[in-house]
Structure 1
């Protein structure tokens, strides 16, 4: 509903391509029919105490970076972090006290517990007024978190447009609002998985005297999930497993890049007793048994 969802001016990034439409047209079309496949793990023959395959690059040294160095720009930390940490994307629906609706994507997002279901959303510091989503959460304490899938990414991206106050992100995106059960904000019907949430705490990230120095501060919203909504063809009979092939989640990477989840592998979590019983894995030798 306003321009506050756009990237704040200190974070405005120059386009990677002068003519992205031309670059886009030169690439292979997106194939939504490609299946999700499962392969072996990277090194099925790995043994306890053995050299990981990544050690082949151990001769390369590392560079130490101080994020608070006097000559280091804030935008440099931003670029480094988003290029080094793949992030799930939450598409958050909120509502103002006046009834105005808001939709905004956030990649500073994660689930941190299941009992109770708890999530965090991070809000970067802004030179202008706080994001609508942050203000709405602080004022009403309610939201819906919609997980972003492949088929809706263009619509989600459209809600980041720097539009005049009063413009509806719902109309911009063409997405369909659906009533929620426990909160006023509506969920996105096109989302395979949505979570109704209530704000537990909004923690201001006032580090290194930012507020005292007159600088904007970020914030961390801690949200409790009150209801889950899963598309009926994507959930199993026991209502506890979402089909990856139906969810088709995306991750946000560096710059303007996104990643698909198209190939997976399985690796069971080890149990000490079971692993010790397997004489071929090298664990007994490492433990001196």
Structure 2
């Protein structure tokens, strides 16, 4: 993938990178902390982190279709604000099997567990070669493998986003290993991935561009999961939970920034009767008498 929208804010990235501290290997050990306000109660609103300085700030309304607004501005705003985003490291192949594509997409998430469904968004045709190749393969074959990117191969996964010609394999360029043992699809999974998902195409929805009349905009593909692959040391005995300290998933933030998942908090899901006090308790909270 090229950088036509200017994701990289640094004139000399390598110089900036060289000035930064080394990778913190100790941070790879996932751990929990308390939430900011363990004593929060219904009706309390935001916690103390929303201080007076934050409250004094104004909000700015932005029309995504403002005349003259560059088309890339909405993209840059969205990827910097809708964060962190999981990444679908998508493996596809051509219908005749002559070529295979491997590319990361961060317009991605799980959208249903019954049936188990994933959604992947593709940039408008012509702006993103990876999207064009992956989407074409997906349409031709109706199948793919979604691999989740972990810390131990993030550089290689990012390398697979290179704007290589159609006949040049991202597998070879990235140095990652294709595992040709999938059970329901002919695509390869990434052997280095802790978690991989075989999937079949359910449907594709194309949208017309709202910026350029007569042009296609983004495309969304809905995928139905047919197999899970989990590395044995990351899977619990019941085969229903993946250890995040082994998965070490990477996410996408704004620009060219990736995020690590190294810290978490836990919050119980509240019950209306038990924690709110039912309708009587809710009325007291609403009326400010509790």
Same fold at TM > 0.5 = yes
Instruction: Return the TM-score normalized by structure 1.
Output: 0.89
Unaligned regions of 5+ residues in structure 2, if any? none
Choose which of 181, 184, 194 in structure 2 pairs with 1:182.
184
Tell me the matched-pair count.
Answer: 277
Higher mean alpha-carbon deviation, 125-134 vs 58-67, is at 125-134
Take 2:255 and 2:177, find their aligned partners in 1: how far apart are those partners? Answer: 28
C-alpha displacement of 1:276: 3.8
More relative contact order, 1 or 2 (CA 8 Å, 6+ apart): 1
What residue number does 2:140 align with? 139
Choose which of 88, 91, 114 in structure 1 pairs with 2:89.
91
Take 1:209 and 1:78, find their aligned partners in 2: how far apart are those partners? Answer: 12
Take 1:185 and 1:14, find their aligned partners in 2: how far apart are those partners? Answer: 30
Higher mean alpha-carbon deviation, 239-248 vs 268-277, is at 268-277
Choose which of 27, 33, 37 in structure 1 pairs with 2:31.
37
C-alpha displacement of 1:115: 0.8
Instruction: Return the TM-score normalized by structure 2.
Output: 0.89
State whether residues 149 and 249 of structure 1, in contact with CA within 8 Å, keep that contact through their aligned partners in structure 2.
yes
What residue number does 1:3 align with? none
State whether residues 91 and 145 of structure 2, in contact with CA within 8 Å, keep that contact through their aligned partners in structure 1.
yes
1:248 aligns with 2:248: yes
C-alpha displacement of 1:250: 1.2
Higher mean alpha-carbon deviation, 129-138 vs 215-224, is at 129-138
Alignment of 1:103-118 (within 5 A): 103-118=102-117
C-alpha displacement of 1:31: 2.4
User: Match of 2:25, SS?
Assistant: coil
Alignment of 1:222-261 (within 5 A): 222-261=222-261
State whether residues 8 and 127 of structure 1, in contact with CA within 8 Å, keep that contact through their aligned partners in structure 2.
no
Q: Deviations over 1:72-101 (max 9, x none)?
A: 111111111111011111100000012111
CA RMSD for the aligned pairs? Answer: 2.1
Q: Deviations over 1:197-227 (max 9, x none)?
A: 00000001125495xx332322100000000
State whether residues 127 and 215 of structure 1, in contact with CA within 8 Å, keep that contact through their aligned partners in structure 2.
no
Take 1:139 and 1:258, find their aligned partners in 2: how far apart are those partners? Answer: 31
C-alpha displacement of 1:247: 0.6
Take 1:258 and 1:144, find their aligned partners in 2: how far apart are those partners? Answer: 22
Unaligned regions of 5+ residues in structure 1, if any? 1-5
State whether residues 176 and 190 of structure 2, in contact with CA within 8 Å, keep that contact through their aligned partners in structure 1.
yes
C-alpha displacement of 1:116: 1.1
Take 1:283 and 1:189, find their aligned partners in 2: how far apart are those partners? Answer: 52
